[in-house]
Structure 1
């Protein structure tokens, strides 16, 4: 490819037809001067997913690797599949048509996963193309490309459009936590369902729960791409009032795809060699073909089955223990479900609490609490009693069991942890308190109460301790009020050799 701006979302529009002897093949490309990269040789198989002939129309989502601006990066495809009986054609069908229907797909290739904003438009364009009953009339495809070619990829608010997160959580309940833990543990996860649209939608709902991941999908399409990894850098400052600054300081987004890993929301049988490759250590992939399900014991660590609404862990018992939802996880999901609106109310509801954006914010809190817990877990395991005594207050260690000690231990063995560990301060639990979201809604244990009582009694001593330069000091920068009624507001933290130093204003 040339050197277009990544801000231009749309790369091309492609029509794919199913030839009854040769199989799926590309028929037309817009703009006409665009040459499909050689790496996109599987595009026709992505565009016409297995089983799509069983419905009037179907959508499929997929990723494509290609060179652009001098390096490999990821592209994102969405296809709309339809079929038409040959008896409905205005003209006689070609002589090599031997079946009773014609199946085709219209595909849009994008530089960002902006499926939600394009899905309805693509469905209308594909429907109009078929309603003509004359596939030699191609103006609709060119007009469609001209209509969408200026779509901007820089507006990240469009990334989550069309993802029914509330319905996803309502249906899968605490199994959502199992899926989330599996992807954080960088396992091989196969998602199966009879419809490619539902299979892809579930996966995008899942990855949307991890803050910033969908906005940094450059590595998603191939295990050979590592753009995000090469861009990793430690955050040197913090503005707690700035969400993006806070997420960066906490080491987000996490590197879950890239070197040795990839994301394939729809994977045809032709992609099986990549799934089985010894060079591929982890992936999240979708399928509508039962042949892949039959190979699941040798192929995947876990399978998510939309037809049975089940998550089956196929690997060893340790993974089952690490990925299982804890008591706190289950209670927290139950609390979310008590608030989330019913699907039939979504269209009428204007409330923030309970909608998809609110749910995503709750999972952001869950992830931040998890990362902070990992650092606190390491501190408690590696520190001496003397080092701990230098803190005037330490949070409760309930969070270890709330997130699950097997999960914490297992995540520390992943490459995701290694990359995160290299760019994240060891005292981030000073910034975000290490606790499970469920902890805020339950009574603290006796140990925590005593710690808070001791904190109140030692206010003067704590003030003196804060003047020391020890990197182990617990510096709370929460904007919430402390138990003694004194609020602390924090504007900015700069990271130095002894950890972040905080400047506050009340």
Structure 2
């Protein structure tokens, strides 16, 4: 060992130690770079008995972070663009799973990327990243006990608007890096809905505690325990069209050599832009739930959205919306929000143009080719599909025959 001074417990040539910061807020981005510098300095001292650098760091860190506990500060260290570039349209599948409180587990290495994906997904639900105090343990659920409704609404104040809309939705156990000591808890009937992350394959092999869906970030695969759950979160044509536009926005500025530096510095395609898009989706979905509840309560059968001819429930997914109503998150949210919430937020799907049957088939084929990782080998056929969408069904099916022959070759 290169240590200048060795304690009695140092009996090996290699010493493993870690510097840990316990924080009440998810300040990973704010802390990471500073912690890296301090950790390197501590090890370079080659004397672990000298902890003055850690004491000074703790004093400095607490003072500096207090001034940065803002929404933008909390989002440091997350990357929605990275999340969408990785999972593409399935990013919305993950969000829908989170909203209907299914047990989700992320698995893979490295651990930093594992946690980044999870925190980035959580950030898609408005204000949820700012309200994780109750999610560290099932025993810390305090929000569900508060059933009071907001007594005022200031539409110019975003926080006031979010409270009026009942956001954030929050009633799950969140553990981005699950220790083995908590695995047994997952096997109990009282285990709440959970969003977990692990790098240990032992956790994923516990057959009696498997999550509803296991996401392997190394192979980019989704493994559903129950096909019924997979059907609940299947994207609707409106979902696919909406996500296709978002994926295109991300890819237009994606920089393979340095994902943290997009090719363009425009607002469109940025993390703030993407969060705003998903905030619109979540708020519109919640307004559609309230609108559908109102029509049912008043005995009406017309589920057309206000001012439009589209069926807002169908566009979000009737089965998914029914599953959301069965969650405890819905029960709490419904008690805390006004029945006429849809007067503030329009009950409509954010997809700007209604997709046609032909265009939806084209989107599904194109996404399927990407998931099969044959985009390069069938690039001409993929282009033929895009061209055929504007021609009609006959042209599309001819293009599909070309795809089949390309894959077979």
The answer to whether the superposition gives a TM-score over 0.5 is yes
Distance in 1 (CA, whole Å) between partners of 2:305 and 2:346 is 15
Aligned CA-pair RMSD: 2.5
SS of the equivalent of 1:118 reads helix
Contact 2:30 2:77 in 1 (8 A): yes
Contact 1:302 1:313 in 2 (8 A): yes
In the alignment, is residue 254 of structure 1 matched against residue 165 of structure 2? Answer: no
Q: CA deviation at 1:169?
A: 0.7
Deviations 1:371-416 (A, max 9, x none): 011112223444335x979x99654343222211110011111111
**Residue 328 (structure 1) aligns with:** 238
Q: CA deviation at 1:119?
A: 0.6
1:377 is aligned, of 269, 292, 310, to 292
Aligned positions, number: 350
**Residue 426 (structure 1) aligns with:** 339
Distance in 2 (CA, whole Å) between partners of 1:195 and 1:239 is 43
Distance in 2 (CA, whole Å) between partners of 1:149 and 1:377 is 47
Distance in 2 (CA, whole Å) between partners of 1:388 and 1:132 is 72
Distance in 1 (CA, whole Å) between partners of 2:24 and 2:268 is 32
Deviations 1:114-157 (A, max 9, x none): 11111100011111111222222222211211221212174333
Contact 2:176 2:197 in 1 (8 A): yes
Distance in 1 (CA, whole Å) between partners of 2:133 and 2:194 is 15
In the alignment, is residue 108 of structure 1 matched against residue 108 of structure 2? Answer: no
- Structure 2 unaligned blocks of 5 or more: 358-409
SS of the equivalent of 1:191 reads strand
**Residue 261 (structure 2) aligns with:** 347
Structure richer in helix, relative to its length: 2
Looking at CA atoms only, which structure, 1 or 2, has the larger radius of gyration? 1
- Cα distance change, pair 107–384 in 1 and its aligned pair in 2 (3 A): same
Distance in 1 (CA, whole Å) between partners of 2:213 and 2:261 is 34
- Cα distance change, pair 170–296 in 1 and its aligned pair in 2 (3 A): farther
In the alignment, is residue 190 of structure 1 matched against residue 68 of structure 2? Answer: no
Distance in 1 (CA, whole Å) between partners of 2:166 and 2:316 is 19
Contact 2:305 2:348 in 1 (8 A): no
Query: Equivalent residues in 2 for 1:21-40 (5 A)?
Result: none
Q: CA deviation at 1:278?
A: 2.2
Q: CA deviation at 1:256?
A: 2.6
**Residue 11 (structure 2) aligns with:** 97
1:144 is aligned, of 57, 76, 81, to 57
SS of the equivalent of 2:17 reads strand
Structure richer in strand, relative to its length: 1
Tell me the TM-score normalised to structure 1 length: 0.65
Q: CA deviation at 1:346?
A: 4.6
**Residue 395 (structure 2) aligns with:** none
Q: CA deviation at 1:95?
A: 6.3
Q: CA deviation at 1:443?
A: 7.3
